[in-house]
Homo-oligomer: A and B are copies of this chain.
Amino acid sequence: MKKLVVHELLRHTLLSRPESEIVSGDVRLPYAQMYDRVVRLADRLGRMGVGQGTVVGVLDVNSHRYLELHYALSMLGAVIHTLNFRLAAEDLAYTIRHAKDEWIFAWEGFAEAVRPLRSTVSRWVWMGDGADPEDGALTYEALVAEGRLVEPDGADRIDEADPYSIFYTTGTTGRPKGLMYRHRDVILASLQIAHHLALYRTGASVGTGDVFMPLIPFFHIHGWGSAIFVPYLGAKLVLPGRAGPAEQLALIRREGVTWSNMVPTQMQMLLDAAGDEPLGLKVLTGGSPLSSGLAQAARDRGVTYSLIYGGSDQLGASISVVPEHVDPTSAEAGRILATRTRPLPMVEIEVRDREGLAVPRDGKTIGEVWVRSPWLPQGYYNDPERTRESYVDGWFRSGDLAVLEDDGTLYVVDREKDAVKSGGEWIPCGVLESLLSEHPKVIEAVVVAKPDERWGERPLAVIRPRTPISPEELRAYLGGLVDAGKLTKFWVPDDFVFLDNLPVTSAGKVHKVSLRKMLGLA
């Protein structure tokens, strides 16, 4: 490759690992053959008018076609809009309108769900192995078949700073916010994840000999960069489509998968599917805290892990590592890997107070996480107001609360808007949730703010029990942790609520706003 432009990454792979395979459903596609399909698709689309700046929505599970679109649209200078299939149709339509999508590529498995969206764009392409659709839409395989094996004219003129992709992040409040990523942002952010995992001692180490199966959907920052860094490594890539936990497990065993990424909920489901059988796998996880119970269950099954901290508005920022003085097989290493992260190489992370001054690196002073990196997005798409709030002097204000240790280790304790402000002090719900979830009778614990006349707010713990448990038992348990110096007494919740089901967001995280509504707190 000559420039940091996405499709150019494939040039190295084509020469150095042409036979390495992509496995997707029944398809086994060496990179050399994938490259041919990418070129044919790009040629066909180019002749149909897709070009520099055309926004193309893609709605698919992780498949070889979705991967190919990552590179074919790059060759045309088009912008890939990775659509979040977990969004409600109405929100999805909003993001399509806001990004001005002209085309949509949709997996036929979503046909029923997305039919209302058909009219939102002028060109609709079905992806799948099915027969030609009755509705007269185009099919992906026909486009590939009609394409010539000639790279589009402009492919070499795409610039590093040209827009490559757009994604909408859904907070718990307000409309989705768009993030436009440049080619170089996506390349640098993705590759630095792989480089960090290779350079540091992590629980999700990567090398060119690994077999990768990303469970993080490509819509979410290109599967946390895996749609970019796996082809860069020329490594074997297994794409799970809509496989459920049991099928994922079968794929892992059949294809010799050694590495995956997933949120903790997916990890829990995969471990449940595996039962007592060992599962040797390296996992990059994140998105929500990894409870110590789940972490222990993973270690028991031979699953090693690292935690990634970041998000679509800052991209990858930090990943957990085993410090040099700690035995990587020890329980301490397991605890650190599940909770503490260190900046990716090239990234600067500061924890600042309300005045914007760095807090002491003492492992206890809580402040807000500020991040600077070469791949920081330029701001929210067409949203100058929210951009000004979050992107300040070249830094991104994350809105996350954390402490820094003296060696630069970051411990994110909570989202600022999720934390409880009590008597002028932050009470990080994440810490409480993690400790509560370690209780053997607890599956999951969520702590939310409850209005309080005296303190402003006080923490309320919502418990999803494994077996019946009383508030007294939990109070006694937390009291023990206070006595052991592991918990601040003032943080112990006054109230406990027990629920068997918790409301979740489209990303599978507990939806605290809904939860507080359910409890009559908001």
Q: Which residues on A are within 8 Å of B, measured CB to CB?
A: 1-4, 9, 11-12, 15-19, 191, 194-195, 198-201, 206-209, 232-233, 321, 324, 342-343, 345-350, 372-374, 376, 394, 407-408
Contacts and interface: CB of A to CB of B under 8 A. Distances in A.
10 cross-chain pairs, A with B, having the tightest CB-CB distances, nearest first? A198-B198, A16-B408, A198-B199, A209-B324, A195-B195, A16-B343, A11-B348, A1-B346, A15-B408, A200-B208
Given A15-B343, A324-B209, A2 B350 contact: no
A308 to B, nearest CB: 16
B15 A374 contact: no
B232 A19 contact: no
Contacts of A15: 343, 348-350, 408
Contact of A1 (B194, B321, B342, B348): B348
How many monomers of this protein are in the complex? 2
B232 A345 contact: yes
Contacts of A191: 195
A423 B207 CA distance: 45
25 contacts: A1-B373, A2-B372, A2-B373, A2-B376, A3-B374, A11-B348, A11-B372, A12-B343, A12-B346, A12-B347, A12-B348, A15-B350, A15-B408, A17-B408, A18-B408, A19-B407, A195-B198, A195-B199, A198-B207, A199-B208, A200-B207, A201-B209, A208-B321, A209-B324, A233-B345
Given A1-B348, A198-B199, A233-B199, A16 B374 contact: no
Nearest to A18: B408
A375 to B, nearest CB: 10
Contacts of A194: 199
Contacts of A2: 372-374, 376, 394
Nearest to A11: B348
A347 B234 CA distance: 13
Contacts of A206: 199
A233 to B, nearest CB: 6
Contacts of A408: 15-18
